[in-house]
Structure 1
Amino acid sequence: MSHPMPRPEDLLNRELSWLDFNARVMEEAEDPSVPLLERVKFLSIVSNNWDEFFMVRVAGIWRQIDAGITQPGPDGLSPRQLLERVASKIHAYSARQHELFHAILEPQLEAEGIVILDPKDLDPAQAAFVLDHFERALLPLITPLAVDTGHPFPRLGNRVLVLVAELEPEASLLDGDLPASELSFIHVPTTLATRFLRVPSAPGTHAFVMLEDVVRHHLARLFLGYAVRSCHAIRVTRDSDQPVEEDPSEDLLKTVEESLRDRRRGAVVRLQYEKGLSAKVLDLLIEEMELSPEDLYPSSGLTAFSDLMQLYAQVDLPRLKDAPLPPLPVPQLDQAANLFDAISRNDILLHHPYQSFDDSVARFVREAADDPRVLAIKMTLYRVTQNSPVAAALERAAERGKQVAAIVELRARFDEAANIAWARRLEKVGVHVVYGLPNHKIHCKACLVVRQEREGIRRYCHLGTGNYNERTSRIYSDLGLLTARPELGEDLANLFNMLTGYTRPPRFHELLVAPQHLKKGLTARILREIDHARAGRPARMILKMNALVEPQIIQLLYEASRAGVKVDLIVRGTCCLRPGVRGLSENIRALSILDRFLEHARIYHFANDGQPETLLASADLMPRNLDHRVELAFPLADPVLAAQVVEMLELQLHDTLKGRVLGPEGDVLRRGLDDQDPPLRSQLRIYEHTLLASGVGAVTRKLPPLPPEA
Structure 2
Amino acid sequence: MFHPIPRPEELLNRELSWLDFNARVMEEAEDPTVPLLERVKFLSIVSSNWDEFFMVRVAGIWRQIDAGITQPGPDGLTPRQLLERVSSRIHAYSARQHELFHAILEPQLEAAGIAILDPRRLDEAQSAFTLDYFERSLLPLITPLAVDTGHPFPRLGNRALVLVVELEPDEDLLDGDLPASELSFIHVPTGLASRFLRVPSAPGAHAFVMLEDVVRHHLSRLFLGYTVKCCHAIRVTRDSDLPVEEDPSEDLLKTVEESLRDRRRGAVVRLQYEHGLSSKVLDLIIEEMELSPEDLYPCSGLTAFSDLMQLYGQLDLPSLKDTPLPPLPVPQLDQAGSVFDAISRNDILLHHPYQSFDDSVVRFVREAAEDPKVLAIKMTLYRVTANSPVAAALERAAERGKQVAAIVELRARFDEAANIAWARRLEKTGVHVVYGLPNHKIHCKACLVVRQEVGGIKRYCHLGTGNYNERTSRLYSDLGLLTARPEFGEDLSNLFNMLTGYTRPPRFHRILLAPQHLKKALKARIQREIGHAQDGRPARMVLKMNALVDPQIIQMLYEASREGVKVDLIVRGTCCLRPGVPGLSENIRTLSILDRFLEHTRIYHFANDGQPETLLSSADLMPRNLDRRVELAFPLVDPILAAQVMEMVEMQLHDTLKGRVLGPEGDVLRRGFDDQDPPLRSQLRIYEHTLLASGVGALTQKLGPLDPDI
TM-score range, shorter chain: over 0.9
The aligned residue for residue 95 of structure 2 is 95
**Residues in 1 aligned to 2:255 and 2:700: alpha-carbon distance in whole angstroms:** 51
Please state how far the C-alpha of 1:709 moved relative to its aligned partner.
3.0
The aligned residue for residue 358 of structure 2 is 358
Deviations 1:623-652 (A, max 9, x none): 000000000000000000000001111000
SS in 1 for 2:328: coil
Deviations 1:526-569 (A, max 9, x none): 00000000000000000000000000000000000000000000
SS in 2 for 1:548: coil
* 8 Å contact from structure 2 (residues 339, 364) kept in 1: yes
Written as runs of structure 1 = structure 2, the 5 A alignment for 1:653-692 is 653-692=653-692
**Residues in 2 aligned to 1:551 and 1:557: alpha-carbon distance in whole angstroms:** 10
The aligned residue for residue 422 of structure 1 is 422
Please state how far the C-alpha of 1:708 moved relative to its aligned partner.
3.2
The aligned residue for residue 558 of structure 2 is 558
Please state how far the C-alpha of 1:215 moved relative to its aligned partner.
0.3
**Residues in 2 aligned to 1:553 and 1:443: alpha-carbon distance in whole angstroms:** 20
Please state how far the C-alpha of 1:705 moved relative to its aligned partner.
4.2
The aligned residue for residue 108 of structure 2 is 108
**Residues in 2 aligned to 1:52 and 1:530: alpha-carbon distance in whole angstroms:** 38
User: Residue type matched to 2:341 in 1?
Assistant: D
Please state how far the C-alpha of 1:248 moved relative to its aligned partner.
1.3
Please state how far the C-alpha of 1:26 moved relative to its aligned partner.
0.1
* 8 Å contact from structure 2 (residues 545, 600) kept in 1: yes
Structure 1 residue 591 corresponds to structure 2 residue 594: no
Please state how far the C-alpha of 1:506 moved relative to its aligned partner.
1.3
**Residues in 2 aligned to 1:709 and 1:543: alpha-carbon distance in whole angstroms:** 26
TM-score by length of 2: 0.99
**Residues in 2 aligned to 1:392 and 1:3: alpha-carbon distance in whole angstroms:** 51
* 8 Å contact from structure 1 (residues 463, 481) kept in 2: yes
Of residues 599-608 and 237-246 in structure 1, the stretch that sits farther from structure 2 once superposed is 237-246
Q: Which runs of 5+ in 2 are unaligned?
A: none
**Residues in 1 aligned to 2:303 and 2:313: alpha-carbon distance in whole angstroms:** 19
User: Residue type matched to 2:536 in 1?
Assistant: G
The aligned residue for residue 371 of structure 2 is 371
Number of residue pairs matched by the alignment: 709
Please state how far the C-alpha of 1:226 moved relative to its aligned partner.
0.4
The aligned residue for residue 411 of structure 2 is 411
SS in 1 for 2:634: strand
The aligned residue for residue 232 of structure 2 is 232
**Residues in 1 aligned to 2:508 and 2:63: alpha-carbon distance in whole angstroms:** 40
* 8 Å contact from structure 1 (residues 326, 703) kept in 2: no
Please state how far the C-alpha of 1:696 moved relative to its aligned partner.
3.2
* 8 Å contact from structure 2 (residues 377, 402) kept in 1: yes
The aligned residue for residue 260 of structure 2 is 260
The aligned residue for residue 606 of structure 1 is 606
Task: Give the % identical residues.
Answer: 88
Deviations 1:118-164 (A, max 9, x none): 00111111111110000000000000000001100000000000000
SS in 2 for 1:573: coil
The aligned residue for residue 347 of structure 2 is 347
Superposition CA RMSD, Å: 0.9
Q: For residues 494 and 680 of structure 1, do their structure 2 counterparts lie closer, same or farther at Cα, with a shift above 3 Å needed?
A: same
**Residues in 1 aligned to 2:444 and 2:323: alpha-carbon distance in whole angstroms:** 33
Structure 1 residue 646 corresponds to structure 2 residue 646: yes
**Residues in 2 aligned to 1:698 and 1:485: alpha-carbon distance in whole angstroms:** 35
The aligned residue for residue 334 of structure 1 is 334
The aligned residue for residue 303 of structure 1 is 303
**Residues in 1 aligned to 2:24 and 2:705: alpha-carbon distance in whole angstroms:** 28
**Residues in 2 aligned to 1:335 and 1:640: alpha-carbon distance in whole angstroms:** 20
**Residues in 2 aligned to 1:293 and 1:320: alpha-carbon distance in whole angstroms:** 40
The aligned residue for residue 250 of structure 1 is 250
Please state how far the C-alpha of 1:699 moved relative to its aligned partner.
4.2
The aligned residue for residue 504 of structure 1 is 504
Deviations 1:320-343 (A, max 9, x none): 000000000000000100110110
SS in 1 for 2:547: coil
**Residues in 2 aligned to 1:222 and 1:494: alpha-carbon distance in whole angstroms:** 64
User: Residue type matched to 2:168 in 1?
Assistant: E
* 8 Å contact from structure 2 (residues 510, 634) kept in 1: yes
* 8 Å contact from structure 2 (residues 242, 413) kept in 1: no
The aligned residue for residue 545 of structure 1 is 545
**Residues in 1 aligned to 2:643 and 2:321: alpha-carbon distance in whole angstroms:** 34
User: Residue type matched to 1:482 in 2?
Assistant: L
Please state how far the C-alpha of 1:247 moved relative to its aligned partner.
1.7
The aligned residue for residue 574 of structure 2 is 574
* 8 Å contact from structure 1 (residues 684, 709) kept in 2: no
* 8 Å contact from structure 1 (residues 64, 79) kept in 2: yes
* 8 Å contact from structure 2 (residues 519, 626) kept in 1: yes
**Residues in 2 aligned to 1:324 and 1:242: alpha-carbon distance in whole angstroms:** 37
**Residues in 2 aligned to 1:651 and 1:471: alpha-carbon distance in whole angstroms:** 26
Please state how far the C-alpha of 1:697 moved relative to its aligned partner.
3.0
Please state how far the C-alpha of 1:315 moved relative to its aligned partner.
1.1
TM-score by length of 1: 0.99
**Residues in 1 aligned to 2:236 and 2:247: alpha-carbon distance in whole angstroms:** 31
* 8 Å contact from structure 1 (residues 603, 616) kept in 2: yes
SS in 2 for 1:480: strand
The aligned residue for residue 708 of structure 1 is 708
The aligned residue for residue 478 of structure 1 is 478
